[in-house]
């Protein structure tokens, strides 16, 4: 049987990781596949050929009945615009879906997990996104197959058009005070709150070329809650010399994939503060928790960007 939830595959210039993720997409044979590819950077020797190789290995190997739509750019937009506009393009055509990048390798059970929870929380406005990755090191949080979080883990995720409609790339509807108030209220750490204020300033000044900070800020501005599976359903395989932001060995790379079946739904929607604190402590341990380290790490270690 083919899989009936639309999938957006965001790619760039890494054939080696792209083919591994594509094979996981191919296994479930989605009925609708959207492929968005950024263009090669000017002056980067060999990148045009790599970008073309990525596109070919996908489009020439779709060997199942599938509606395919593409957004293949000739010029490079950079990480922020390429990814955010690709997701906007996706949600101009679908109401909900799964988003995978060229380095986010999913377990097969990730797909059904997303499908069931997209349906379960479709009309629950406070739920903003469903993540695939788990940083809890095997610690179970509650009795359901997932727990609720304030953090935005974007290594393989699913969401609804209603969530993306709240996304504000330019932060034109979000104030600095809203963000510092929200982050202090959620995490109880003034250093984290102030650093998010600094991140906000960088985004407003266009000194960060990214898109994922804005997603977190948009979700927090709207008092959103997210979902994390009890087991790890996505592994980041993108760490290495070809990655733009993650070149070094990192404990968050290549987390083993697990399987999560027989989904048990939560009886109430309540953020697990202990789980969030555990993730925060793991992302930036206390001895390193300075303003600078938080600013460099807070989403970079959660999300390896593709360009």
Count the alpha carbons within 13 Å of 110 in the hemisphere toward its beta carbon.
31
Closest CA to 229 of 76, 91, 110: 110
Q: Is the pLDDT of residue 245 over 60?
A: no
Token reading at 162: 């209603």
Let me know the angle formed at the C-alpha of 157 by 151 and 163, rounded to the nearest 5 degrees: 75
- Would you kindly state where each structural domain of the chain is located, as residue ranges? 7-297
Average pLDDT over residues 172-193: 92
Distance in angstroms (rounded) separating the CA atoms of residues 261 and 97 = 20
Q: Which of 219, 91, 129, 94 is nearest to 167 (CA)?
A: 219
The winner for highest mean pLDDT among 147-161, 189-203, 271-285 is: 147-161
Helices 15-28/47-59 angle, 10° precision: 10
Query: How do residues 85-133 score in pLDDT, each as one tens digit?
Result: 999 999 999 999 999 999 999 999 999 999 999 999 999 999 999 999 9
Class of 7-297 per CATH? alpha beta
Where does the pLDDT of residue 49 fall: very low under 50, low under 70, confident under 90, or very high at 90 and above?
A: very high
- Per-residue pLDDT, 239: 73
Q: What pLDDT, on the 0 to 100 scale, is given for residue 247?
A: 44
């Amino acid at each position: 049987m083919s899989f009936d939830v639309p999938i957006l595959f965001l790619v760039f210039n890494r054939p080696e990781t792209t083919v591994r993720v594509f094979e996981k997409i191919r296994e479930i044979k989605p009925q609708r596949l959207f492929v968005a590819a950024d263009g090669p950077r000017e002056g980067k020797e060999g990148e045009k050929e790599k970008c073309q190789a990525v596109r070919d290995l996908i489009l020439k190997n779709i060997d199942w009945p599938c509606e395919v739509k593409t957004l293949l750019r000739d010029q490079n937009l950079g990480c922020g615009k390429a990814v955010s506009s690709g997701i906007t393009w996706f949600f101009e055509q679908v109401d909900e879906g799964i988003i995978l990048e060229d380095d986010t390798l999913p377990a097969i059970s990730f797909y059904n997990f997303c499908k069931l929870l997209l349906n379960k929380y479709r009309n629950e406005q406070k739920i903003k996104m469903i993540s695939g990755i788990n940083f809890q090191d095997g610690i179970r949080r509650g009795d359901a197959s997932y727990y609720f979080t304030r953090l935005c883990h974007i290594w393989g995720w699913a969401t609804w058009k209603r969530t993306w409609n709240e996304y504000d790339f330019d932060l034109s509807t979000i104030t600095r005070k809203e963000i510092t108030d929200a982050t202090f209220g959620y995490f109880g750490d003034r250093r984290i709150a102030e650093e998010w204020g600094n991140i906000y300033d960088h985004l407003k000044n266009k000194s960060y070329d990214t898109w994922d900070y804005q997603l977190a800020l948009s979700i927090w501005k709207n008092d959103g809650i997210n979902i994390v599976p009890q087991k790890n359903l996505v592994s980041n395989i993108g760490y290495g010399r070809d990655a733009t932001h993650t070149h070094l060995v990192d404990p968050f790379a290549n987390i083993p994939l697990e399987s999560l079946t027989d989904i048990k739904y939560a009886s109430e929607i309540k953020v697990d503060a202990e789980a969030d604190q555990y993730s925060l402590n793991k992302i930036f341990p206390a001895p390193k928790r300075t303003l600078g380290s938080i600013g460099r790490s807070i989403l970079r270690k959660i999300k390896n960007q593709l360009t």
